[in-house]
Amino acid sequence: NAGVTQTPKFRILKIGQSMTLQCTQDMNHNYMYWYRQDPGMGLKLIYYSVGAGITDKGEVPNGYNVSRSTTEDFPLRLELAAPSQTSVYFCASSYSVPRGFPVPWNTEAFFGQGTRLTVV
Amino acid sequence: AQSVAQPEDQVNVAEGNPLTVKCTYSVSGNPYLFWYVQYPNRGLQFLLKYITGDNLVKGSYGFEAEFNKSQTSFHLKKPSALVSDSALYFCAVRDINDYKLSFGAGTTVTVRA
């Protein structure tokens, strides 16, 4: 099983450039997340999605955009890259039963291997 | 709003001694709770979770955690630490009435031989 696949693994951008970080999962998970990890800061949630066509902002959405046109794919777009966006980016997916379901259930989140982005 | 606190940036233990990594959480409803481990330059690996049922949860590599609702805690434990347990550990929470999955800042565990 491929699980969660992120591309690229590494990227160097110049200030003002744009790029898309790709994320795809093959587990038919409804929830998908984008996080950034900075040293000593843990993981900060950028955007998340609870299903195709539905996205919402996390803690640190400024400078990013997402879309979720299919269950499998959840790309993260950086417009006008800034040095503050230098970070390691992780995509994750999980399955959760709908709210109000009689038996609560949520799988663990499965993570991709990360994209190390440097903006210079 | 939900949040997770890992009060210790670093935990140092000798090999063979018990290991505890602390986690407290805040949610408005009931929580889903998770522990992950990260090795250098790697992604996050799942260790264990609490969804419902028994408060004591057993996971991978001999780790376990106890859900304590009154203390809003979910501490990770291992009876006998190994040098190979040295890594960065994250606690995460999701309120069952919310969609976001929130992580703590992480605790670096160093196990000395």
> What is the band of A1 on the pLDDT scale with cuts at 50, 70, 90?
low
Chain A CB contacts of B46 under 8 Å are 108-110
Query: Is 90 exceeded by the pLDDT of residue A104?
Result: no
Query: Is 90 exceeded by the pLDDT of residue A30?
Result: yes
pLDDT of residue B63: 97
pLDDT of residue B42: 84
> What is the band of A105 on the pLDDT scale with cuts at 50, 70, 90?
confident
pLDDT digits (tens, 9 = 90+) for A38-87: 987 889 999 999 999 999 999 999 999 999 999 999 999 998 999 999 99
Distance from CA of A113 to the nearest CA of B (A): 5
pLDDT of residue A42: 87
Check if the beta carbon of residue A104 is closer than 8 Å to that of residue A39.
no
Kind of pairing between the strands at B87-95 and B102-103: antiparallel
With a pLDDT cut of 90, the percent of chain B lying above it is 81
Question: What is the Cα–Cα distance from A43 to B103, expressed in whole angstroms?
Answer: 6
For B52, the closest chain A residue by CA position comes to A104
Check if the beta carbon of residue A25 is closer than 8 Å to that of residue A67.
no
For B33, the closest chain A residue by CA position comes to A108
Check if the beta carbon of residue A21 is closer than 8 Å to that of residue A86.
no
pLDDT of residue A14: 97
Chain A CB contacts of B104 under 8 Å are 42
A positions 17-36 inside 8 Å of B (CB): 31, 33, 35
Mean of all residue pLDDT scores within chain A: 92
Distance from CA of B29 to the nearest CA of A (A): 12
Check if the beta carbon of residue A42 is closer than 8 Å to that of residue B106.
yes
Cβ–Cβ below 8 Å for B101 and A99: no
Question: What is the Cα–Cα distance from A47 to B74, expressed in whole angstroms?
Answer: 26
Q: What is the dihedral of CA B104, A49, A57, A5, to 10 degrees?
A: 60
Q: Which residues contact B39 (CB under 8 A, 6 or more apart)?
A: B45, B87, B88
Chain B CB contacts of A111 under 8 Å are 36, 43-45
> Structure tokens of B70?
């009154």
